[in-house]
């Protein structure tokens, strides 16, 4: 499997954790992944973007118009990075605005997380499961099992998230 993915958002929204979680899951499932993060100043609310490549690569870099996926925890940061997306690439964006376009999913993951879990902190799991279902090839049960093993999620939360996502995808 080969793909390029850009994950972006604002410092504090869990961008780096999301990047690490996706890379970890793919590595444990036997894929070769390389990703690049930015730390430091960025964690104080500044723009954060991370690159992730799956396949036989030496670096995590790619140029404009080369991303198969953009996952963004923030609408403005999606706008800042959308020039990286291929013409037939997918966007997965957490936004409270009613933005729609043909090649992506725009939805209010924070609101969903607040609704089900009374906390915004599960918002990125909605993005993660949408990403893995768009990616195909990987069984969501395998993803779930890894997350449960690492004590990031439990069976009940997984069921609730998947139930909500049926209406989004």
Contact residues: other proteins, CB under 8 A: 10-12, 19-20, 23-24, 26-28, 30-47, 57-65, 76-77, 79-80, 83, 110, 118-120
How far apart CA 126 and CA 59 sit, in angstroms, is: 28
What φ, ψ does residue 78 adopt, rounded to 5°?
A: -60, -45
Q: Name which of 138 and 162 has its Cβ closer to other proteins.
A: 138
d(C-alpha 72, C-alpha 95), whole Å: 9
> CA-to-CA distance for 14 and 121, rounded, in angstroms?
9
Q: How far is the CB of 103 from other proteins (least distance, A)?
A: 17
- Cβ 169 to other proteins, closest distance in Å? 25
CB of 61 to other proteins, least distance (A): 4
Two structure tokens written together for 66: 């080369």
**Between residues 30 and 136, which has the closer beta carbon with respect to other proteins?**
30
Choice between 28 and 134, CB closer to other proteins: 28
Minimum Å gap between C-beta 137 and other proteins is: 16
DSSP character at residue 46? -
DSSP letters, 49-101, are EEEEEESS-S-S---TT-EEEEEESSHHHHHHHGGGEEEEEEEEEE-SS----
Q: Closest approach of Cβ 41 to other proteins, in Å?
A: 5
Give the integer Cα–Cα distance in Å for 169 and 156: 20
Q: β-strand 33-36 against 47-54: which pairing, if any? A: antiparallel
Closer Cβ to other proteins, 83 or 163, answer by number: 83
């Amino acid at each position: 499997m080969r793909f390029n993915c850009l994950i972006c958002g604002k410092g504090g929204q869990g961008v780096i954790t999301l990047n690490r979680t996706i890379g970890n899951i793919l590595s444990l499932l036997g894929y070769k992944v390389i990703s690049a993060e930015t730390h430091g100043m960025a964690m104080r609310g500044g723009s954060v973007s991370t690159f992730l490549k799956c396949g036989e690569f030496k670096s995590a870099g790619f140029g404009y118009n080369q991303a198969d996926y953009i996952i963004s925890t923030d609408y403005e940061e999606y706008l800042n990075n959308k020039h990286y997306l291929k013409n037939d690439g997918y966007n997965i964006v957490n936004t409270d605005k009613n933005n729609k376009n043909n090649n992506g999913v725009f939805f209010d993951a924070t609101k969903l997380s607040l609704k089900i879990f009374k906390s915004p902190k599960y918002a990125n799991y909605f993005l993660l499961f949408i990403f893995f279902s768009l990616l195909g090839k990987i069984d969501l049960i395998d993803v779930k099992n890894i997350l449960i093993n690492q004590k990031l999620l439990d069976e009940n939360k997984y069921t609730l998230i998947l139930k909500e996502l049926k209406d989004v995808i």
